[in-house]
């Protein structure tokens, strides 16, 4: 199969590309190497995802990315330095390749940055996604998997969160854009028969995690004896989901898309295990054998109190069975972190 993966050099995307290539598929990776975090991290992700062990000398962003494109191109892997807001640029890629399905992971991420710049989030997460659907129409691509988010649930009072719960009260622009793509996705499914699965990811973590995310940031700061920003009293809680389980859920969702017709589904992918902030910090401290210095700060606008995934639908529909417990996976993450010299 030939897959387009948007955001294929990011955290989740690079792991997915690695698995798709390992399973004998072809991948067209579309990534714009956004300045949200250091582009060099994405270059390392890309090389690791395709099994390249070469030493990469960094110089200047544009030149480095062009070098990466040249050195990674093969019969079954093509990297495009492309923004999904640019429909004409995307169309040139679609013209060059036969595409069986699109796995759309590219987005502007993060709750707090979306409050600071909501228009950018609308441009990328809504308009960029619609550009892809318009090209699905034009090129008769009928299988589409979209990365949504647990943030759509807002401060849902019902625990655990079910796909049947009302999600009409998002509390951040990021969450609202993800809800919008689910709604607009149904329009494209209904009008143009694009088979579609939206996966609501619950706080994904693991090797190659973005440096701005809490587990990665706390690990970095504790290891280097820096003060960590600690929001609230530590009682906020998340359903942390290890990257291996997320990839398993994505792959099983793709299989479901490929073996069923007239598909429009929204599916939670989580661990169904809730860890509060104090527990998360203590687990990292234990694995680093170092104590954190905390800077206590108020809860931030847009932050939810708790997330907890009801994964009943994922279990029954796609055979999703997460296997990684938090204590064990933090150990894996810290080992990776220390090995990679972070």
Q: What percent of the chain has pLDDT over 90?
A: 91
224 lies in some domain: no
- Does 87 reside within a domain? yes
- Burial code of 265-299, b = ≥16 C-beta within 10 A, e = fewer? bbbbbbbbbbbbbeebbebbeebbeeebeeeeeee
174 is catalytic: yes
262 belongs to a structural domain: yes
User: Which pLDDT belongs to residue 342?
Assistant: 56
Q: For 111-131, write each residue's pLDDT tens digit.
A: 999 999 999 999 999 999 999
| Domain assignment of residue 215, yes or no | no
CA dist 65 and 130 (Å) reads 26
Confidence class for position 160, pLDDT limits 50, 70, 90: very high
Q: Which residue in 153, 174, 242, 256 is the catalytic one? A: 174
What is the predicted pLDDT for the residue at 52?
Answer: 87
Asked if residues 136 and 104 have their Cβ atoms less than 8 Å apart, the reply is no
**pLDDT tens for each residue of 268-303:** 999 988 999 999 999 999 999 999 999 999 988 888
Which of 141, 129, 246 is CA-nearest to residue 180? 129
Whether 140 is in a domain gets the answer yes
CA distances from 309 to 4, 202, 203 (A): 28, 7, 10
Residue 341, pLDDT score: 63
Instruction: For residue 25, give the 3-state DSSP assignment.
Output: coil
Count up the domains in the chain and report the number.
Answer: 1
Please report whether residue 183 resides in a domain. yes
Residue 248's CATH number: 3.40.50.720
Residues 60 and 260: their CA atoms lie apart, in Å, by 46
CB neighbourhood size of 69 (10 A): 15
3-state secondary structure of 52: coil
Residue 181: per-residue pLDDT: 98
Determine which of 234-238, 330-334, 337-341 has the lowest per-residue pLDDT on average. 337-341
Please give the pLDDT value at position 97.
97
pLDDT tens for each residue of 161-192: 999 999 999 999 999 999 999 999 999 999 99
Question: Using an 8 Å Cβ cutoff, are 254 and 103 in contact?
Answer: yes
Q: Are residues 278 and 247 in contact, defined by beta-carbon separation less than 8 angstroms? A: no
* DSSP secondary structure string for all residues of 75-118: TTEEEEE--TT-HHHHHHHHHHS--SEEEE------HHHHHH-H
Question: Given a cut of 70, is residue 210 above it in pLDDT?
Answer: yes
Q: How is residue 84 written in tokens?
A: 């999904």
DSSP letter string, 109-168: --HHHHHH-HHHHIIIIIIIHHHHHHHHHHHT--EEEEEEEGGGG-S-SSSSB-TTS---
Q: Does the residue 218 lie in any domain?
A: no
Which residue range is the domain that position 143 belongs to? 2-202+242-271+308-322
Distance CA 290, CA 284 (A): 8
Residue pair 107/7 in contact by the 8 Å Cβ criterion: yes
Does residue 220 fall inside a structural domain?
Answer: no
């Amino acid at each position: 199969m030939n897959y387009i993966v948007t955001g294929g050099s990011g955290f989740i995307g690079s792991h997915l590309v690695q698995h798709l290539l390992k399973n004998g598929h072809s991948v067209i990776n579309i990534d714009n190497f956004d300045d949200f975090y250091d582009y060099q991290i994405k270059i390392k992700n890309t090389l690791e995802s395709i099994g390249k062990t070469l030493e990469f000398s960094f110089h200047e962003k544009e030149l480095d990315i062009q070098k990466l494109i040249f050195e990674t191109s093969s019969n079954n892997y093509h990297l495009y330095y492309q923004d999904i807001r640019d429909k004409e640029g995307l169309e040139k890629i679609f013209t060059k390749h036969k595409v069986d399905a699109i796995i759309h992971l590219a987005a502007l991420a993060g709750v707090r940055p979306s409050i600071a710049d909501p228009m950018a989030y609308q441009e990328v997460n809504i308009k960029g996604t619609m550009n892809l659907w318009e090209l699905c129409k034009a090129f008769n691509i009928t299988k589409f998997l979209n990365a949504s988010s647990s943030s759509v649930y807002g401060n849902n009072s019902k625990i655990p969160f079910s796909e049947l719960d009302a999600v009409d009260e998002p509390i951040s622009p990021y969450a609202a854009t993800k809800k919008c793509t689910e709604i607009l996705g149904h329009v494209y499914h209904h009008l143009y028969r694009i088979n579609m699965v939206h996966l609501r990811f619950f706080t994904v973590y693991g090797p190659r995690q973005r440096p701005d995310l809490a587990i990665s940031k706390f690990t970095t700061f504790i290891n280097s004896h820096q003060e960590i920003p600690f929001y609230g009293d530590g009682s906020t809680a998340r359903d942390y989901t290890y990257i291996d389980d997320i990839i398993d859920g994505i792959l099983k969702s793709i299989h479901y898309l490929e073996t069923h017709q007239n598909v429009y589904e929204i599916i939670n992918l989580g661990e169904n295990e809730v860890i509060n902030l104090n527990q998360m910090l203590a687990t990292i401290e234990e694995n680093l054998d170092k104590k954190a210095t905390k800077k206590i700060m108020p809860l931030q606008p847009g932050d939810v109190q708790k997330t907890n995934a009801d994964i009943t639908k994922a279990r029954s529909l796609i055979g999703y069975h997460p296997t990684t417990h938090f204590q064990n996976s933090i150990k894996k993450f810290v080992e990776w972190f220390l090995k990679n010299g972070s």
